[in-house]
Amino acid sequence: MDFFSIIRGRRSVRAFRPDPLTREQVEAVLEAARWAPSPHGRQPWRFVVLTAPDARMRLAEAMGATWRRQLALDGQDAATIEARFHRSRQRIIGAPVVVLLCLYLEDLDTYPDAERQAAEVTMAVQSLGCAAQNMLLAAYALGFDGGWMCAPLFCQETVRAALGLDATLHPHALITLGYAAQDPARRPRRSLEELVVRWE
């Protein structure tokens, strides 16, 4: 496929077949992430790869308990909470591979003022998004699929505790990888006329 076919073809998959991925396939996706642009070339991201069913289950259960509490705080009824919990849990335990993307801030430049330091962190977050996009495009180019879940942002300490991660790792997103169980519904894209707000 040419590059623009890969961009347009990539889709957000939420249900996967049980077929495993090889270590080489997973490493190829991680290698693509490694080449993402980053502030000052610092590569402020680290990856946790979960292929063992018990590890994925442990993460899903821990995150699910937190999410149930958050949905209850939002005033959602018990039936809706259970349905949403089940869908989210299945996305994690049903994927052959789950990659946790963590922000790693230890190597960033430091500034004496809070404003520039905050900008440095924002650049790192943007860079993590670039790494995630590289992973998703690489997976599609290699003939399988991925899904992007930002749920770890809402329960970072829970994720760290469930996986025994160091405090320097800030969980931001999950990338689920595997072969799509079915073609997902595609959401329409806004036109360029809507997106380009100024062109001089």
pLDDT in tens, 5-26: 999 999 999 999 999 999 999 9
- Does residue 199 fall inside a structural domain? no
| Residue in the structure block whose two tokens are 């062109």 | 199
| CA 12/CA 185 separation, integer angstroms | 9
pLDDT confidence tier of residue 46, bands split at 50, 70 and 90? very high
Is pLDDT at 69 greater than 90 in this prediction?
no
pLDDT of 82 above 90:
no
Is residue 191 in a domain? no
Residue 127 in any domain: the answer is yes
Q: What's the pLDDT at 30?
A: 98
CATH of the domain at 81: 3.40.109.10
Please give the angle made by the CA atoms of 46, 163 and 49, to the nearest 5 degrees: 45
Residue 55 has pLDDT above 90, yes or no: yes
pLDDT of residue 83: 86
Asked if the structure places residue 135 within a domain, the reply is yes
Nearest-angstrom CA–CA distance, 70 and 49: 26
Q: Compute the distance between CA of residue 16 and CA of residue 182 in angstroms, rounded to an integer.
A: 8
Strand runs (DSSP E) across the chain, as ranges? 45-50, 97-104, 145-149, 169-178
> What residues have CB less than 8 Å from 74, skipping those under 6 apart?
none
Closest CA to 38 of 122, 115, 118, 101: 122
The residue range of the domain holding 36 is: 3-183
The answer to the question of residue 192 being in a domain is no
Q: What is the mean pLDDT of residues 35-55?
A: 97
Neighbours of 141 (CB within 10 A): 18
Token code pair at residue 168: 């320097």
* The model's pTM: 0.94
Summarised one tens digit per residue, pLDDT across range 29-40 is: 999 999 999 999
Q: What is the pLDDT of residues 117-130, one digit of tens each?
A: 999 999 999 999 99
Q: Considering the chain, what is the average pLDDT of its residues?
A: 95
- Tally of domains within the chain: 1
For residue 87 the two structure tokens come to 């869908």
Q: Is residue 194 part of a domain?
A: no
Q: Does the pLDDT at position 190 exceed 90?
A: yes
In-domain check, residue 49: yes
Whether 83 maps to a domain, the answer reads yes
